[in-house]
C-alpha cells in the first residue's frame, strides 16, 4: 500500500479512517547532515523525546493490574530507548525482553515520527485505534496519559503498551510467578496483536517468540543498540494451541505454498471484470500479521491478494485471484496485489528472503496469466494511474527484484540495508582511496563480496571489513551496512 493503507483509499467504498491533509506519506528517509569535513552524521530514525513510567514499586509487585494514574513524569535528560523499556517493564511487571520483541515485530522499534500505520496504529509499540483493536484507547485509560501523547511520545507509548499487555495477562489469569516466565505470556501477546482472529493471532505471537528465540540486536536513533539475548522458547499457547496460523487450500490453492487467511467479504469484490494483466507491488506500512488482521476488519474497505513477510518470506493469501481485491483503485480489476511487510522509509524491512519469495510468487503469476516479465506489467503502487500512494518507495530494489522474477543467473550481490547520509563508496577498501560514488541516504545495496581492508572508526564503532557493491563499482565500510555483524553473514570473501 501507500504511505499508509488508508481505509477506503483503494476501494470503491466509503472512507472510514480520515487522512491528515496531504495524505499519510511517510518520509522516504530520515535525513542527516554532513559537516564540513565530509563525515557522515547518523540520524537514521526520528524519535520523539522519551517519557518514563510513573508507578509505585509496590504496585509493580502485586497481582493486580496497574490502575489509571496521572501521566508519567518526563524521563531524565538523555534517557534512552532501552531505559524506557526497562522502566515500563518494571512498572507493569512485564518481561522486558518480551516488550522489546513485541515492539520489534510491530515497527522495528521505529515510531515513524508519530505518523499512523495502515490500520491506524501509532508509535514504537503500534498502539491501535480502529473498530476491532483499541489498544490506544485502553492504554490511555490504564495510564491516564492522553491519546495525543501516546501517539507522539516514545516513552509514553512503551509505557502504555506495557500497561495493556499486563491487563491482558491479568485477564488470562497470569499470577506473579507466571509473569516471570516469558513462555506464559503467549495468549496475551496474541490478543495484543490480533484480537479478532485466532489464526492471525497465532501468526502474530509465533513471530514474537521467534524473535525471542533468535535474539535481537537493533540499532536505533542516536546510535543506541537495543538487545535481547537468544534463549530457548517453549511458548504456552493455551487457547491458541489447536489453531493453525493459516489454512491450506490443498489442490484448490492459487499458490500452493501460501497460507490462507481470508479477508472480510466486504473488503473485496467477488469475480473479475477484466483479465489479469498486471502485478502491483505494495508495502504494508505495518506488520505482516497486522495487515492480514486489517483486511479482516469490516471497516477497512481494503485488501490485497497476497502478503509477504519480511523475516523469512512467508506468504499469506487473503483474496482469491479470481476475485477483485481493493488495493490499487483503477488497477483493481486487472491486477493481482502483493503486499510486502514493512515501511516505505526503512529499507531494513526489504530482506533477501522477502525479495526472493515475492519474486517466486510473481514469477508464478506471470507464467499462469501470460504476463510479460517487464516493468510495464510488474509495477509499484505509485505507478498505477489515478493513485497518490508512494509505495514501494525509493528503497525498493527494482533491478534485483526483476532479475529474480526473470530467474537471471548472472545477477550478483545480496541486498542489505544501509544507514547514514552521504556515505562514500571507495575505489579500494580504504578511506584514502578515491570516491567513486555516494549513498545520499539510507537505502538498500547489493553486496557481491567482502574483504578486510583499512580499519575505519566512526560513531563508537571500529571495523576493518569492507563490502564490494557491484552496482556502484566500489567498496563501502561495513560499519554502514545496517546489520549487527561486522562480517556480513552469507557473503563470500572477495
Q: Which residues are catalytic?
A: 339
Long-range contacts from 273-277, C-beta under 8 angstroms, 24+ separation: 273/324, 273/333, 274/333, 274/334, 275/334, 275/369, 276/321, 276/334, 276/335, 276/336, 276/365, 276/369, 276/371, 277/334, 277/335, 277/369, 277/371, 277/377
Q: What is the DSSP letter of 26?
A: P
Number of CB atoms found within 10 A of residue 393's CB:
25
User: In terms of residues, how long is the chain?
Assistant: 494
Number of CB atoms found within 10 A of residue 471's CB:
16
- Residue 279 host element (H or E): strand 278-283
In 180-313, which ranges are continuous DSSP H helix?
186-193, 198-214, 288-295
- How far apart are the C-alpha atoms of 376 and 369, rounded to whole Å? 15
Output the CA torsion 431→433→436→442 (10° steps).
-10
In 131-284, which ranges are continuous DSSP H helix?
135-143, 147-152, 154-171, 176-179, 186-193, 198-214
Query: Which 3 state secondary structure label does DSSP give 342?
Result: strand
Instruction: Let me know if 18 is exposed, middle or buried by CB neighbors in 10 A (0-12, 13-18, 19+).
Output: exposed
- Please give the grid coordinates belonging to residue 398: 527494482
Strand pairing category for 278-283 and 335-340: parallel
Phi and psi of 324, rounded to 5°?
-100, 105
Cross-strand pairs, 308: 315, 340
- How far apart are the C-alpha atoms of 186 and 192, rounded to whole Å? 10
Distance of CA 412 to the CA centre of its chain: 26
Cross-strand pairs, 248: none
Amino acid at each position: 500500500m501507500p504511505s499508509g493503507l488508508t481505509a477506503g483509499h483503494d476501494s470503491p467504498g466509503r472512507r472510514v479512517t480520515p487522512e491528515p491533509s496531504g495524505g499519510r506519506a511517510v518520509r522516504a528517509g530520515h535525513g542527516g547532515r554532513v559537516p564540513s569535513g565530509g563525515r557522515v552524521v547518523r540520524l537514521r530514525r526520528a524519535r520523539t523525546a522519551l517519557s518514563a513510567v510513573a508507578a509505585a514499586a509496590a504496585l509493580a509487585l502485586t497481582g493486580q493490574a496497574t490502575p489509571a494514574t496521572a501521566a508519567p513524569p518526563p524521563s531524565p535528560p538523555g534517557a534512552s530507548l532501552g531505559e524506557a523499556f526497562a522502566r515500563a517493564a518494571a512498572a507493569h511487571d512485564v518481561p522486558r525482553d518480551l516488550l522489546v520483541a513485541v515492539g520489534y515485530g510491530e515497527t522495528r522499534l521505529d515510531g515513524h515520527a508519530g505518523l499512523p500505520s495502515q490500520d491506524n496504529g501509532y508509535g514504537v509499540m503500534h498502539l491501535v485505534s480502529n473498530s476491532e483493536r483499541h489498544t490506544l484507547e485502553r492504554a490511555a485509560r490504564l495510564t491516564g496519559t492522553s491519546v495525543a501523547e501516546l501517539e507522539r511520545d516514545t516513552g509514553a507509548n512503551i509505557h502504555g503498551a506495557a500497561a495493556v499487555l499486563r491487563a491482558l495477562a491479568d485477564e488470562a489469569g497470569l499470577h506473579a510467578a507466571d509473569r516471570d516466565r516469558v513462555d506464559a505470556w503467549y495468549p496475551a501477546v496474541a490478543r495484543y496483536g490480533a484480537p479478532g482472529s485466532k489464526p492471525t493471532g497465532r501468526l502474530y505471537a509465533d513471530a514474537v517468540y521467534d524473535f525471542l528465540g533468535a535474539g535481537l540486536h537493533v540499532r536505533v536513533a542516536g546510535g543506541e543498540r537495543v538487545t535481547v539475548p537468544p534463549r530457548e522458547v517453549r511458548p504456552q499457547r493455551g487457547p491458541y494451541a489447536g489453531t493453525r496460523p493459516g489454512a491450506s487450500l490443498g489442490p484448490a490453492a492459487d499458490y500452493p505454498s501460501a497460507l490462507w487467511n481470508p479477508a472480510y467479504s466486504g473488503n473485496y469484490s467477488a469475480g473479475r471484470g477484466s483479465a489479469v494483466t498486471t502485478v502491483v507491488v505494495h508495502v504494508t506500512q505495518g506488520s505482516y500479521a497486522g495487515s492480514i488482521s486489517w483486511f479482516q476488519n469490516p471497516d477497512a474497505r481494503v485488501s490485497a491478494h497476497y502478503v509477504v513477510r519480511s523475516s523469512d518470506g512467508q506468504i499469506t493469501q487473503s483474496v482469491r485471484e479470481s476475485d477483485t481485491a481493493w488495493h490499487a483503485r483503477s488497477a483493481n480489476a486487472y491486477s493481482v496485489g502483493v503486499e510486502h511487510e514493512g515501511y516505505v522509509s526503512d529499507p531494513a524491512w526489504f530482506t533477501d528472503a522477502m525479495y526472493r519469495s515475492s519474486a517466486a510468487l510473481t514469477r508464478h503469476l506471470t507464467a499462469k496469466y501470460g504476463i510479460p516479465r517487464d516493468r510495464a506489467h510488474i509495477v509499484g503502487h505509485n505507478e498505477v494511474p489515478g493513485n497518490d500512494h508512494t509505495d514501494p518507495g525509493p528503497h525498493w530494489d527494482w533491478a534485483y527484484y526483476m532479475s529474480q522474477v526473470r530467474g537471471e543467473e548472472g545477477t550478483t550481490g545480496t541486498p542489505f540495508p544501509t544507514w547514514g547520509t552521504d556515505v562514500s563508496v571507495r575505489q579500494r577498501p580504504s578511506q584514502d582511496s578515491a570516491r567513486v560514488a555516494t549513498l545520499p541516504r539510507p537505502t538498500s545495496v547489493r553486496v557481491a563480496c567482502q574483504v578486510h581492508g583499512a580499519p575505519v572508526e566512526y560513531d563508537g564503532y571500529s571495523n576493518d571489513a569492507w563490502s564490494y557493491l557491484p552496482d556502484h563499482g566500489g567498496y563501502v565500510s561495513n560499519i554502514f551496512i545496517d546489520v549487527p555483524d561486522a562480517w556480513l553473514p552469507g557473503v563470500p570473501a572477495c
